[in-house]
Amino acid sequence: MITGSIVALATPMKVSGEIDWEALRRLVNFHLENGTDAIVAAGTTGEPTTMSFAEHFDVIRTVVEEVAGRIPVIAGTGANATSEAVELARYAKEVGADYCLSVCPYYNKPTQEGLYQHFKAVAEGANLPVILYNVPGRTCSDLYNETVFRLAELDNIVGLKDATGNLERAEDLIERLKGSGFMLYSGDDATACDFMLMGGDGDISVTANVAPRAMHELCVAAVAGDTETAHQINTRLMPLHTVLGVEANPIPVKWALNRMGYAEAGIRLPLTWLSEKYHSTVGEALQLAGVIEA
């Protein structure tokens, strides 16, 4: 079981939009040196929807190679076509990923039965442990708790990333699944501290891209039930949690990584570089969190 801070890794790109493979490897080592507990490669923050299949595969492979078994790698393998989600998960297994993260199919708006059958097919075809990913704000497809409970009974489905930010729903999930071995992760940094203090196993985090050590320490404290320490760290990071959502993820976090010197100013259309009006806002949050100097 993975617990703690799991970074939803941004994919560094050059100004031209090409993937910067050298910067990607440096970024992986930045996380290894700063306590990140696991890495999601080519998840939402990694911009896989703008990549070719070959690029998507190569990002996963590169992260697995650079990590070299030191921490778990979770491959982002979601797709709105079930056959593609299975193909991506199979490739992730071939190159050595430890888990796959499979998002609810986006755009086509399946029913709850459709979601169940989709993930069942992924679990049966992937040959890799599957972590479900519910982010209705992006997909227009909401995986209800009752469907999660059905899916949790399947052998190869081992966890959930819940990015709804709804703590009432999270409490229900935790109460009914805690102790079963099914892993429950927040996917919403602003509510992740409370999610973990209620019994969640960790946070698949955007903030961890730029503040990996602090997010690791926050998650360690929260998972252990150390409310005081967790709240102290979370209060310091809250401005960062907030401003990394001022425009669509990963726009703000890629600007922040550029400001920190870890990546060029590269992003792919239809996403664009962070609007100038937000530069000082994100920069100030980085300073408050101790990520950059004033």
Question: What residues does each domain of the chain span?
Answer: 4-223
The amino acid at residue 41 is A
Q: Is residue 161 annotated as part of the catalytic site, yes or no?
A: yes
Give the contacts of 224 (CB within 8 A, at least 6 positions apart). none
- Is 133 a residue of the active site? yes
Single-letter code of the amino acid located at 84: E
The first and second tokens of residue 178, run together, are: 């805690």
State pLDDT tens for residues 64-86. Answer: 999 999 999 999 999 999 999 99
- Quote the pLDDT of residue 294: 66
State the catalytic residue, choosing from 91, 99, 116, 133: 133
Q: Is 166 left (phi over 0), alpha (psi -120 to 50) or beta?
A: beta
- In single-letter form, the type of residue at position 30 comes to F
Residue-level pLDDT at 201? 98
pTM for this model (two decimals): 0.97
Binding residues, as ranges, are 45, 204
Q: 130, 139, 132, 137: which is closest to 162 by C-alpha?
A: 132
CA 131 to each of CA 54, 158, 230, 288: distance values in angstroms, whole numbers, following the listed order: 23, 6, 25, 33
For the segment 132-166, what is each residue's pLDDT rounded down to a tens digit? 999 999 999 999 999 999 999 999 999 999 999 99
Please report, to the nearest 10 degrees, the dihedral formed by the alpha carbons of residues 6, 210, 137, 122 taken in order: -30
Q: Are 268 and 259 in contact (CB under 8 A)?
A: no
Residues forming the annotated binding site for pyruvate?
45, 204
Quick one: 4-223 is in which CATH superfamily? Aldolase class I (3.20.20.70)
- Could you say which of 93, 99, 161, 254 is catalytic? 161
The segments of the chain whose pLDDT lies below 50 read none
